[in-house]
């Protein structure tokens, strides 16, 4: 590889973290090229010639791995925690190191992808790709018809509109619904319902980009298959 590429892209391709996270590392002054700290994510690097370090450690490319975890409640979706709480990364192999794609709340369960492929993670998370996420939601009270319509047309969160692609009732009481969204904002599903006066009592992600955990117990994981990975790349990669 005798060519130059953007440092944030190379960090992501090396499996250290997503490209978005690489940008943050660079802005925080944690990345060095040939002993010099850089501050621009667009800085070019030649991986064959340049010495690249993150937090003082030499960056070494790793074999790409892809896991889907049936996340249990009581685990945080991060790779480190100053309060020493249980992390989703504790539930999958530690070598090579992987990171979660996006976030699920501490008490939210279901589909969570973990990988060391930064480009794949960015593909799933980038809003322009409109990757579907499907959730089963249990509410504290029945969902009213007028609110059903509002969830589909739009609810403002932080002055930015959000909406569900679909809303389906489960059972006659209308306290349980299945929603689909293209949104990846933090606490998006809970905040959508909260804006309309509902409290989400249980939240379970059924699928992400078509990936499911059907038949898997909470805390179980499996490797994504090559057909699954190829299908996602073919469907959502706009390049």
Q: Which two tokens stand for residue 25?
A: 């590392």
105 is catalytic: yes
- Of 105, 119, 158, 220, catalytic: 105
Outline where DSSP puts E strands in the chain. Answer: 5-6, 31-33, 36-37, 44-45, 52-54, 57-58, 66-71, 99-100, 109-115, 133-139, 155-157, 160-162, 166-170, 176-181, 200-208, 211-212, 221-223
> How far apart are alpha carbons 126 and 236 in whole angstroms?
10
- Non-local (6+) Cβ contacts of 58 within 8 A are 51, 52
Distances (CA, A) of 215 to 46, 81, 111, 206: 45, 30, 12, 12
- Tell me the three state secondary structure of residue 27: helix
- Tell me the three state secondary structure of residue 211: strand
> How far apart are alpha carbons 192 and 163 in whole angstroms?
8
Bridge pairing between strands 200-208 and 109-115: parallel
Known catalytic residues? Answer: 105
């Amino acid at each position: 590889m005798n060519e130059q590429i953007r440092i944030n892209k190379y960090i992501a391709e090396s499996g250290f973290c997503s490209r978005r996270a690489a940008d943050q590392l660079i802005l925080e002054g944690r990345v060095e090229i040939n002993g010099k700290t850089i501050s621009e994510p667009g800085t070019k690097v030649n991986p064959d010639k340049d010495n690249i370090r993150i937090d003082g450690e030499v960056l070494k490319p790793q074999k790409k791995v892809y896991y889907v975890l049936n996340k249990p409640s009581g685990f945080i979706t991060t790779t480190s925690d100053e309060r020493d709480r249980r992390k989703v990364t504790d539930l999958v192999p530690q070598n090579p190191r992987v990171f979660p794609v996006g976030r699920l709340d501490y008490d939210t369960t279901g589909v969570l992808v973990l990988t060391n492929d930064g480009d794949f993670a960015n593909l799933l998370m980038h809003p322009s790709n409109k990757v579907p996420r499907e959730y089963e939601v249990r509410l504290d009270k029945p969902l009213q018809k007028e609110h059903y319509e509002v969830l589909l047309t739009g609810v403002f969160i932080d002055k930015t509109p959000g909406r569900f692609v679909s809303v389906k009732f489960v059972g006659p009481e209308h306290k349980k619904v299945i929603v689909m969204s293209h949104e990846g904002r933090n606490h998006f599903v809970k905040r959508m319902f909260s804006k309309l006066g509902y409290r989400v009592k249980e939240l379970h992600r059924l699928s992400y980009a078509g990936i499911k955990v059907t038949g898997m117990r909470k805390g179980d994981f499996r490797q994504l298959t090559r057909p699954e990975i190829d299908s996602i790349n073919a469907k959502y990669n706009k390049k």
